Amino acid sequence: MSITATYEMHARHFPDKIAIQTADESLSYRNWYQLICQTANWLASLQRANNIVGVYMQNGLPFLQLFSAASEAGLVIVPFDIKWTTAEIKKRIILSQPSIIITMKDQFEKLKELDLNVMVWEECLVEINRMPLHRETEIKREMPFYMGFTSGSTGEPKAFIRSHGSWVQSFACTQFDFHINKNDHVLIPGSLIHSHFLFGAISTLYFGGSVYLLSKFSPVQSLEFIETKPITVIYVVPTMLEAFLKEGCQSNKELKIISSGAKWEEITKQRIMEMFPNSYMYEFYGASELSFVTVLPDDDSKRKPGSVGKPCHNVEIQIRTSTGVVAEKNEIGKIYVRSKMLFSGYLQAGMSGIQPIQTEDGWMTVDDMGYVDAEGFLYIIGREKNMILYGGINIYAEEVETVLASHPDVDAAAVVGTSDPYWGQVVSAVIQGSATKAELRKLCKMKLAAYKIPRKWYFLNEIPLTTSGKIARPKIIEMLERKVQDD
């Protein structure tokens, strides 16, 4: 079954129901189904070197239309971020090899110099509108449909491939764990270039719910939609709720909040509950490669504030030690996941074909480290590659970063291991913000074991990040090591 397989049924059962609502237009399920059929028929009619189609568009209905239609046509859709530089786009084009890229008229200038088959959406609409309103398709569950990019901490892109079946299984998880169904009205306030928001929109359309889409994130406009539309669910990342807090937004609407990303400090959660007193939050841990892994509903969050929750529907978890043995309860090891939601594999520069990372018996890891407690709740400690070896003791950078970032005067924090002739590595902290070293050391003493407290402190105006917004650890380590040599 494909991710668009239910559209025809929705068009029959509730043709006039809102499928997608933006600030400017509203589309019924009848119209949405016909639009997807026409666009898929048009895409299928094009002369292409391969089945890979790029999309370079801002948020909006055309993005969702093209994404869904390419999937319906059995193609692989590759979203490119309009915020990327030309050099960043080139890297990803070389990796993904799209046969065509479709963009809006106002974005064409940035792409035309790349010597590609670039098509302008506004011009394509003439042909799309001439296409048949129905379509017969047979999509197998293992067929790929979506290629996204991840860079890790190196900044070099890898492309991940998802199949129809992996997302359809993830839809079932959404229904089971988040209790979202066709009766929900779902606000998608973030950019569709990010899987979290794209999945939120596509899963809602699969169920037959109504999607409310913003052209770009705005806490004020989001609140306006919540107050004036029948919104029941909102997909967010932590920075969005921080923006709501700064704006002083408040709503008494009953809402489900689906949050991906960093763990929340308890004081922040309390402020969110004051902002949305009738809301119920679901935090989840997952990855582009793994989809959903664990979920932490509000009720469990109060009892297990440091946890990322219990395994999602039809997900198995194992913690394995460095020797490959399954760990005991509360013993730290590498997290392995097995489910039907796992991705197909990576495309990497210099390597041919899709590179799977599953074991023979279906387990997969992205090298996150953690442990499971006696009640089955998972705790994330950090990434194996970010581990600092201090005199033979393992210290996880993310654990220290979480403590540092909880200080109100810290805008961002990065922790890395730097070379030391005696200890091997010592914990070094890079801080962006106005907090002082004395304040941060005091905070660390309250929340961390003594050996985890940073030995070296650096204060910068801006912490280096990768193109995907992650901490650029290799660059930071190189910068700090060079600074030590210069000193």
Per-residue pLDDT of the chain (487 residues; tens, 9 = 90+): 899 999 999 999 999 999 999 999 999 999 999 999 999 999 999 988 899 999 999 999 999 999 999 999 999 999 999 988 888 888 899 999 999 999 999 988 888 777 678 999 999 999 999 999 988 878 888 899 999 987 654 457 789 999 999 999 999 999 999 999 999 999 999 999 989 999 999 999 999 999 999 999 999 999 999 999 999 999 998 778 878 888 888 899 999 999 986 666 677 778 888 899 999 999 999 988 999 999 999 889 888 888 999 999 999 999 999 899 999 999 999 999 999 999 998 887 666 677 778 887 899 998 898 999 999 999 988 877 888 988 878 888 988 998 999 999 999 999 999 988 878 889 999 999 999 999 999 999 998 989 999 999 999 999 988 766 778 888 898 888 887 655 5
Beta-strand (E) ranges in 94-208? 100-103, 118-120, 144-150, 158-163, 185-188
Question: Does residue 1 sit within a domain?
Answer: no
Whether 58 and 143 map to the same domain: the answer is yes
Q: Within a domain: residue 205?
A: yes
Domain assignment of residue 170, yes or no: yes
CA distance 195 to 292: 12
Query: Both tokens of residue 223?
Result: 């609140």
Q: Is 384 a member of any domain?
A: no
Q: Is residue 111 part of a domain?
A: yes
Co-location of 307 and 203 in the same domain: yes
Complete DSSP assignment for 127-144:
HHTTS-S-------TT-E
Q: Are residues 367 and 420 in the same domain?
A: no
Q: Give me the count of residues in the chain.
A: 487
> Of 317, 351, 379, which one is at a domain's C-terminal end?
379
Q: At which of 379, 413, 430 does a domain end?
A: 379
Confidence (pLDDT) at 56: 95
**How many Å apart are CA 386 and CA 393, to the nearest integer?**
13
In a domain, 385, yes or no: no
Q: Does residue 329 share a domain with residue 452?
A: no
CA distance 271 to 145: 40
Residues 30 and 93 in one domain: yes
Q: Token pair for residue 63?
A: 């993005």
Q: Is 217 found in the same domain as 72?
A: yes
Range of the domain at 276: 7-379
CATH code of 414's domain: 3.30.300.30
Strand-strand pairing, 52-56 and 100-103? parallel
Question: Which CATH number belongs to the domain containing residue 252 in this structure?
Answer: 3.40.50.12780
In a domain? residue 2: no
Residues 298, 162, single domain; the answer is yes
CA separation, residue 3 to residues 46, 144, 179, 292 (Å): 22, 11, 19, 17
Nearest to 195 by CA among 100, 363, 78: 78
**CB hemisphere CA count around 263 (13 angstroms):** 24
Please give the pLDDT value at position 153: 45
Instruction: Scan for tokens 């028929």, then name that residue.
Output: 41
Using alpha carbons only, give the angle 141, 144, 147 rounded to the nearest 5 degrees. 145
123 and 241 part of one domain: yes
The full DSSP string for 258-303 is EEESSPPPHHHHHHHHHHSTTEEEEEEEEETTTEEEEEEEHHHHHH
Rg (CA), the chain: 23
Same domain, 73 and 131: yes
Is there a single domain that holds both residue 76 and residue 208? yes
Domain end point (choices 379, 405, 426): 379
Say yes or no: 276 and 375 in one domain.
yes
Q: Is 90 within the bounds of a domain?
A: yes
pTM: 0.85
Number of domains in the chain: 2
Kindly state whether residues 312 and 192 are assigned to the same domain. yes
